[in-house]
Structure 1
């Protein structure tokens, strides 16, 4: 009998998952982009990436509602391009969702270290894995309710941050040396704008993960479009607001390359001992927790879907008595904890662990975005009668913009990150080798019409 997930999630819960998956990107990670392209250069990068994501989500929603499957992009690409297409999208999504959590866990450790200087951030990061893997195992309804609560608190906190630093905001602070450390735009600035792409993508990375909860959504054709469209609009406003207010609070160069830019920006305005600062550190943890917890849900559903279809060992699609894929949850956690303890041991292009994990996750995301948009175009031709209750607006222009910008982002990332490109390709190759050796698993898996369609 095919393992099936329970349908318990409504539109508000799905919005909480979509925004919660991403919202840690507003709290940390993006400021590494300032160190590369400056505030003004990174603002240009962010606007380009925000345009890509907006077009992508308005297009991706068509796939999610037509094929509400826990595999998300894996399911769309397999249906469009067959087993190997599914493999590329599935592995890329898995890499994205497995390597984003260690970066977030390290940021959780950094935030706690502000309050408790003697606490080892790595130990705090491992503790976060243990707590939130357990919560995910206890049931998706409980997990989604928790996700919604912490997401709402995280959104409120970002608005509070903007309000508190606003009196100290000065546009002169934001624009000072804003073009890659210079006051003037140059060819080098243009190069830096493209080099900073991974950190602008971090503002929005993983919003597509709500697709992996589609199998657990009530009335997905109606609830998913509402959740996705409200989610991307929420995130664009927050990303631009947080970045601009933080950059105008003081010397922005002191905020680039650290894991807690918002508390440090607030210190510039209210001082080191303000109650506002302590509130930001504690409530700011909710933003990190929302994403960390939500991405655990996302990677576990991807492991589950790939396992159920015979692409990974069958044991990973086993459900617990709480109807959650507990072994899939634990598998991603083991990889994440190993990544955390590799900090300081492995040197990737001179990057910090956080920056390296972000870049690896972004590689997975961009490949998946490209595969998803190609799947949208292919399925429009090969399955014109597929039940599409939501259609991408202004087709083919909007999905075309998303596809072109995603390809440009991938080219820029390969150009500026050769070592991590090789690591990403090595991971994909290992996945392909396993795929080639385990054809019998896919032959023995139960047929899933959402993966192959009625006309295959």
Structure 2
């Protein structure tokens, strides 16, 4: 099995530009500014939320740098899966591919749950589950028809939702959007002591979860060596600014006790201002960002499943590319029943927790893949490494440490989720390692990637 094992199948079309990469990464993640992050407040108060935002932000900047280097070098659709396959091993590759798939599918389900909840709050006569089904079906169809159309939609939705946050922020600091209450910061600073601040880390990734997905469209970029690093880093900067503005607005407009349990905190913060314009803008922003996130997750989850199938870890049936739309359409369609199964539970925090657990598996393996990549190919030539991240591999080791620390905090309140998630992935690892024995592998670095042989083979 070579690194580019898609013989017998059409190639995906190369049409995406840097702003598409930005739209994919930010589109998936910006929903984390609109909902989910506020569970950090329930655990550790305002200080806990700030701590979680900063620690998780540090980790994701490092993940983003690792993903930029790997994605611009390999230029493959599978993203973290392909990096693990090339540089770590087959068992790890299949494990990462499955974790990426589950991370994004659970995120899609969470997005659909929130949109359905908002719809139900506006129109109480409409039940939530049919709305959830409609959203998942529509976004599956959009990705079935073509990645360019889907990501152009993402760009429009994401830009609108981001603009709503920026307008809200500047209206508030200039005094045009209600009264900001500094006393809320003091009264809700540390409700559960210092252990609560540490426990808040478990939801910190929700501010940025999925940004590594921006590199997963590398195979469909016109110029991946430029588009992936530029789009990925611009996306991370956008999210850091967005998370800071979001925490500032919500912590001073909503009491901490209410903020920690809100389903859509930015919308509730806008409601607290009494401004009809902001209520409408943030309501639309919440709907748009959930749709953009769900749309992006369908794109990324299907690419991971497509890559697993193309390399025969799954049935080869999912590796077909549509002859007209040039999309991995069977892999796209298969995202729908899994997302519906997650959404059927209706428990937002449980779905979010499984998505975070799956993501943290990836955030251990992505930097580990980079460490292995640099050992196999130490030369910094443009041919092998068009984007060179700073301070590597030190950053990769720190990323692994932070991911394990954050994962350990799930023990506070979600210990069964953590045990189930880790058990699920351990079983998957051994299953795929066993299945791999029947698959022939041979990386032809020169033919597949245009690289020299790795140092350990010379």
Normalising by the residue count of structure 2, what TM-score does the alignment of the two structures yield?
0.89
By how many angstroms is 1:57 displaced?
Answer: 1.1
Structure 1 residues 47, 228: closer, same or farther in 2, change over 3 A? same
Match in the other structure for 2:342: 339
User: d(CA) in 2 for partners of 1:9 and 1:231?
Assistant: 15
- Determine whether 1:96 maps to 2:98: no
What's the secondary structure of 1:69's corresponding residue?
Answer: coil
Deviation at 1:416, TM superposition (A): 5.0
Instruction: Report the secondary structure of 1:334's partner residue.
Output: helix
Aligned length: 439
| 1:115 matches 2:122 | yes
Q: Which runs of 5+ in 2 are unaligned?
A: 1-6
TM-score, normalised via structure 1 length: 0.90
Which residue is equivalent to 2:288?
286
CA shift for structure 1 position 434: 4.6
Match of 1:380 among 362, 371, 374: 374
CA 1:117–1:75: 2 relative to 1, 3 Å: same
Map of 1:264 onto structure 2: 268
CA distance in 1 between partners of 2:18 and 2:139 (Å): 23
Q: Is 1:322–2:328 an aligned residue pair? A: no
Contact 1:310 1:441 in 2 (8 A): no
Per-residue deviation, residues 252-287 of structure 1 (Å, max 9, x unmatched): 32122221112211221116xx24313321243111
Which whole-Å CA distance do the structure 2 matches of 1:276 and 1:81 have between them? 49
Corresponding residue number in structure 1 for 2:195: 191
Change in 2 beyond 3 A, CA 1:421/1:73: same
Deviation at 1:115, TM superposition (A): 2.0
Aligned residue number for residue 47 of structure 2: 40
Measured against aligned partners, the alpha-carbon deviations of 1:67-115 in whole angstroms (never above 9, x if no partner) come to 1111111111111112112122222212211211111110111222232
Please state how far the C-alpha of 1:433 moved relative to its aligned partner. 5.6
Is the 1:6–1:323 contact (alpha carbons within 8 Å) kept by the matching residues of 2?
Answer: yes
* C-alpha separation in 2, matches of 1:268 and 1:236: 24
**Distance in 1, Cα, partners of 2:206 & 2:434:** 34
1:246-257 correspondence runs (5 A)? 246-257=250-261
- Output the CA distance in 2 between the equivalents of 1:451 and 1:42: 46
2:207 aligned counterpart, secondary structure:
coil
Query: Partners in 2 of 1:213 and 1:33 — Cα distance?
Result: 31
1:217 equivalent to 2:217? Answer: no
Question: Are residues 1:179 and 2:185 paired?
Answer: no
2: CA distance, partners of 1:276 / 1:409: 34
Question: Is this contact kept in 1: 2:52–2:203, CA < 8 A?
Answer: no
1:308 corresponding residue in structure 2: 310
1:277 aligns with 2:279: yes
Q: Distance in 1 between matches of 2:301 and 2:139?
A: 13
Give the 3-state SS of the residue equivalent to 2:231 in structure 1.
helix
Does the 8 A contact of 1:101 with 1:295 survive in 2? yes
| Residue pair 2:48, 2:190 contacting (<8 A) in 1 also | yes
Gapped regions of structure 1 (runs ≥ 5): 182-187, 344-352
Is the 8 Å Cα contact of residues 215 and 232 (structure 2) preserved in structure 1? no
Which of 362, 367, 371 aligns to 1:368? It is 362
Q: Are 2:181 and 1:159 aligned?
A: no
Structure 1 match to 2:238: 234
Aligned with residue 180 of structure 2, among 170, 173, 178? 170
- Mark the CA change 1:194 to 1:249 in structure 2 (over 3 Å): closer, same or farther: same
Establish whether residue 435 from structure 1 lines up as the match of residue 442 from structure 2.
no
Shift in CA distance, 88/438, structure 1 to aligned 2, threshold 3 Å: closer
